[in-house]
Every structure is written in C-alpha cells, then in structure tokens.
C-alpha cells in the first residue's frame, strides 16, 4: 500500500517559507499545518511574523492561534494535534503541508520523540527563571553540548526544561527513529548570509512600523507578566531594533544547526527562482 505524501517546508526564519507553502497548496490542493512554537499563541502576531489572512490567500491554515499566551504548550501537545490534523486533511482528499522553522516540532511529526518522564523541579526552576536566555544556554552547553547546539536558544521555557532533564538524566534524550506512517518530502529554504541579514533587517523594521510595541502593550493589558513575555521570546522582552536583529540572526544560525542533521532535506536557495524546480521534486 502506497504511503500518503506529506510535504514539509522548513528552514531559516525570513526565507519565505509561508509564501512558498501557500503557492504549493494552491497547485496541489493542499492545507497547511504550522510548525512554529510561538505562532500557536493568540496575540503574538507581529513579533512572530505570523501569516495574515490576506497572505493565506484562502488556503486553510492549522495550529495557529490555538493557545492563550498565559498557558504553556508542549511539543507533546503539538505532536498530538498535528497528527490529528494530518488525518483530517487526508480524509478530505487533500495534501498536508507542514510549514515552519521549529525543528523540534518537525522532528516530532516525522521521526517521533521520546518524551522523558522527568517531573518538574520547582526549586531548580525558581533559580533558573532568574537567569537570562544567554546564561541558561551556557549552563546547558556544560550539561549537554549536543542539545545546546540544536535548541531554540531564545525559548526560555525550553531551555529550563532541557536543563531540568539534563540534570535529572545526565543528558536530554535523543529523538528516536520510528517507522514513518507517511512519505515525507522535506524542502529546506536558506539564504546566503548577506542576503539573510538584509531580509532580517527589513523584517525587523517592518515589525516596529507595524506596531510591535503596541502588541506588547496589549499583551501586558491582558495581564501577561514581564516574566512570561521574556519566555515568549526576545521580541517581547523590551525590544530594540538592534536587539531583535541580533537575536533573529542568532536564531537563524541555531535553526540551520538543527536542520543540518537531517540528510533527508533537499535544500534550495530562497533568493533564486525555485518554485518550478520544487514542484518537479514533488
């Protein structure tokens, strides 16, 4: 029996993944499942570069705006919801297209994940919560250098959890290899460093023009604490243009470190005309 085909559009931030996913969905009668660990949150729109209704061009998008920002959302919860959506989309005789830059989410769907049964350590968490993401990354590097290379370095919650697990088990467990239920076609987008920098600078300028600071004010009015805002990313933690550009480029570097481990990804330079070539690969 032939496996159902699922297309994965992944890669660095600011490389045009969402736009490509919409174009492909239009061509092949697809629906899009987001694989972004922050776009799941309601109200985190500008800072996360969330796709707008206009940009969706009528293509159904799933797993965006599904959690209140006060609440935590785990990769295990994401995996469960994504697998349900995949089945739903296939049942409608459509092709699921998973699009995003959160490598852990994509691996959870395509490879399966061990979710370690390490209980929360409230005493350790209180100590770690006082530290910056940079300090937490340094701690994790000492405990588990491999995980430190691949983790979302701006996600404070994930950094704390990784340290918690590493302290309990000695290291963060690796992703397990499981027999995939579907045929995954992985398309990776990247940009040469100089072009990526320009794209990021342009995007960050637009964030501030579009009202990033007002978005933060609204979140604070909705009783989202400063502590929680810092957990949601550097864009929400007293942002400046320079700080967000620097943080985004650092994040893009970590994304590539994660994705380079996966030999199944077919890479394309997003600065070139690649749509027709990609369609031939599908």
pTM: 0.84
Residue 174: predicted pLDDT: 63
Which positions make up the binding site? Answer: 11-18
Per residue in 224-262, pLDDT (tens digit) is 999 899 889 889 999 999 999 999 999 999 899 889 989
- Residue 235 is given by DSSP the state G
Binding residues for substrate: 13-18
Q: Would you list which residues are annotated within the binding site for ATP?
A: 11-18
pLDDT reported for residue 173: 62
Q: 166-178: buried (b, 16+ CB within 10 Å) or exposed (e) per residue? A: bbeeeebbebeee
The tens digit of pLDDT for each residue in 93-104 reads: 999 999 999 998
DSSP 8-state symbol, 130: T
Task: Return the structure tokens found at 132.
Answer: 């910056």
**113 band by pLDDT with thresholds 50, 70 and 90:** low
User: Tens digit of pLDDT for each residue in 37-80?
Assistant: 999 999 999 999 999 999 999 999 999 999 999 998 988 899 99
DSSP strand pairing (30-34 vs 61-62): parallel
Average pLDDT of the chain? 92
User: How far is Cα of residue 196 from the mean position of the Cα atoms in its chain?
Assistant: 17
pLDDT at 177 over 80: no
b/e sequence 237-266, b meaning 16+ C-beta within 10 Å: bebeeeebbebbbbbbebbeebbeebeebe
């Amino acid at each position: 029996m032939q496996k159902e085909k699922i297309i994965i559009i992944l890669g660095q931030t600011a490389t045009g993944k969402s736009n490509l996913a919409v174009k492909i969905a239009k061509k092949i009668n697809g629906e899009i499942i987001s694989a972004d660990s922050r776009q799941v949150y309601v109200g985190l729109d500008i800072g996360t570069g969330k796709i707008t209704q206009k940009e969706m061009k009528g293509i159904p998008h799933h797993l965006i705006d599904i959690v209140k920002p006060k609440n935590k959302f785990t990769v295990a919860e994401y995996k469960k919801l994504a697998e349900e959506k995949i089945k739903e989309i296939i049942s409608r005789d459509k092709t699921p297209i998973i699009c995003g830059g959160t490598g852990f989410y994509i691996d959870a769907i395509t490879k399966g994940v061990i979710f370690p049964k390490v209980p929360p350590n409230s005493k350790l968490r209180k100590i770690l919560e006082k530290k910056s993401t940079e300090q937490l990354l340094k701690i994790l590097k000492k405990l588990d250098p491999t995980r430190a290379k691949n983790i979302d370095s701006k996600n404070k919650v994930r950094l704390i959890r990784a340290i918690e697990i590493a302290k309990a088990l000695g290291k963060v467990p690796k992703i397990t290899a499981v027999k995939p239920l579907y045929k995954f076609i992985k398309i990776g987008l990247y940009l040469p460093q100089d072009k990526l920098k320009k794209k990021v600078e342009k995007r960050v300028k637009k964030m501030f023009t579009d009202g990033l600071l007002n978005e933060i004010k609204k979140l604070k009015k909705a009783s989202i604490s400063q502590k929680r805002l810092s957990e949601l990313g550097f864009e929400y933690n007293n942002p400046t243009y320079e700080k967000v550009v620097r943080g985004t480029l650092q994040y893009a570097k970590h994304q590539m470190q994660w994705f380079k481990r996966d030999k199944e990804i077919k890479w394309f330079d997003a600065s070139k005309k690649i749509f027709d070539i990609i369609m031939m690969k599908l």
